[in-house]
Structure 1
Amino acid sequence: MNGIKLLSGLLLILAVNSVQAKKVPTQVVYRFDDHRYLELKGWNCEGELWYIDTQKGIRSNPVGQFYRVFTRKFVHPSERYIALTGWSAGGFRVSKDYGQTWRTAMFSPGPNEPDEMNQPPSEDVISFTVVNDQGFLLTKKSLYMSSKGFDDPRILPGGPGIPYTASDGTSHKIEPRAPGWSWGMVYMTKRGLEESKSQFKAEWFNLPDKVPEVKNYQGWDHMRCNMDAGK
């Protein structure tokens, strides 16, 4: 009888150890400041991405699975508009309400690149900076930007719309019922903007030619991830 009890105890210990060994690791992969950070839950630096703001009590899930950390320079003092990209920098998950809800933002169609492609090769990406509710993806050949952090009031419900003249001389109007991309939801270069009717919307006026300087940033300038976490 004692032998059976001993064997049962050993099996229980082995079962508990097995469960503990398989527990998916969670690690902080980026800090914006002392109360906002990103957690990655998964093996080999890939998995679920979580956004946490301890001051506002926000815990949200920008990417449900298969997120791989962005390895290039990443500076993000912006708080209302939060934009994240991953390892390949092929698109963005953005929040316009301090990280409570998330949507997908993409590169605009059209000739953003010198070769007429709409997005840069992953290997050309140098850095991603998000400041003053605007994102800036710097590459070896171009600077991609989201719009400034507001929608042109002329195309909000009840607005008069925006009349404009296209490059072929024809007259058109951007109507409130079909305003196009809302602020922060698309990234393009100045080259791409020249081919887009967004150029007539106020949130795209007077864009900079370089990434704005960020001073006294308290967060990390790169994501950090331990490939051996949980092993």
Structure 2
Amino acid sequence: MIVIAFICTLIGGIIFVITLFKPRHKLVQAASYLLFLLGVWAVSPVNNLRQPKVVSPSQVVYRFDENRYLLLTGYRCQGQVYFIDDKEQVYYQLAAHSQRVYTEPYRHPAKNYISVPLADLSAIDTSIDGGRSFKSIELGIGNYLGDHDSPQYDVVNDRAFILAKDGTLFASEQPFGYRGWDMLTKRNQKNKIIGRSQIIPDTIPPIPDDYTGWDKMQCDYDAEDTVLPDNHPLLEVFQQWLGTAN
């Protein structure tokens, strides 16, 4: 395109100069002058100046491994969260609502089973197909954990475990969603809830030694706006920065 613009500029300039000595060709002179100006405009850096698109700050707030991570777009560690798996080309917007980053210890070696809690544990976005779809589950009727009430949240053996500060251990169903969408406790097991013949362990199963993910979500509270070069999509820009673009 630059070569064509340069050729047009050259041809238009030459014809214009020639017509200066032949004033009878006014129309040709005007056309060549216009062609020259268009060529100059096309190759000029001014033509490439576009208003950059500025969006809310975006940052990786959690890494499951080198390919899978959570991307947060928003101010002060609150906003829209996306689950992304670059290797499998999975990009999922977790929820339409805004959410805050979960600040308690959080380890997630599980692969296909994905469990992402809201900051206050009022809901947990859960997937059993590697992040291609999610469903929201809760702690269950009569159970509540507020901010900073959970000393540990681990997702291991395709199951989510939440250890509350009072020692109560919550565990997701196995198989997931067999009869309901709530977390379970020893009390549920004792009451022999129909369809939930689940065995709740006394402690959280150990994390594999080869786990490479983060132990906690991380977020820069003062992150600034993100400027998208050449108006590229936000995801494409972050993949370039992270070195994961195709």
User: Does the Cα contact within 8 Å between 1:49 and 1:65 map onto a contact in 2?
Assistant: no
* Shift in Å, 1:140: 1.1
Residue identity in the other structure for 1:189: T
Listed as ranges, the matches of 1:131-146 within 5 Å are 131-141=156-166, 142-146=168-172
Q: How many residues align?
A: 175
The alignment status of 1:227 with 2:217, answered yes or no, reads no
Which of residues 183, 188, 193 is equivalent to 2:184? 188
Which residue number in structure 2 is paired with residue 218 of structure 1?
212
Give the gaps of 5 or more residues in structure 2.
1-48, 226-246
Name the one with the larger helix percent: 2
Question: Distance between the aligned counterparts of 1:65 and 1:151, measured in 2?
Answer: 23
* Shift in Å, 1:90: 1.6
Which residue number in structure 2 is paired with residue 130 of structure 1?
155
Which of residues 95, 99, 104 is equivalent to 2:136? 104
Residue identity in the other structure for 1:207: I
Which 4+ runs in 1 deviate beyond 4 A?
A: none
* Shift in Å, 1:144: 0.6
Q: Identity of counterpart residues, as a percentage?
A: 30
SS in 1 for 2:161: strand
Pair 150,228 (structure 1): closer, same or farther in 2 beyond 3 Å: closer
Query: TM-score normalized by structure 1?
Result: 0.69
User: Does the Cα contact within 8 Å between 2:173 and 2:196 map onto a contact in 1?
Assistant: no
CA RMSD, aligned part only?
Answer: 2.1
SS in 2 for 1:193: helix
User: Does the Cα contact within 8 Å between 1:90 and 1:122 map onto a contact in 2?
Assistant: no
Pair 230,125 (structure 1): closer, same or farther in 2 beyond 3 Å: same
Which residue number in structure 2 is paired with residue 207 of structure 1?
200
SS in 1 for 2:148: helix
Query: TM-score normalized by structure 2?
Result: 0.65
Name the one with the larger strand percent: 1
User: Does the Cα contact within 8 Å between 1:30 and 1:220 map onto a contact in 2?
Assistant: yes
SS in 2 for 1:124: coil
The alignment status of 1:42 with 2:52, answered yes or no, reads no
SS in 1 for 2:138: strand
Question: Distance between the aligned counterparts of 1:61 and 1:149, measured in 2?
Answer: 24
Deviations 1:73-121 (A, max 9, x none): 0000111111111211222111111100111101222xxxxxxx42234
Question: Distance between the aligned counterparts of 2:196 and 2:62, measured in 1?
Answer: 34
* Shift in Å, 1:123: 3.3
Question: Distance between the aligned counterparts of 1:136 and 1:68, measured in 2?
Answer: 20
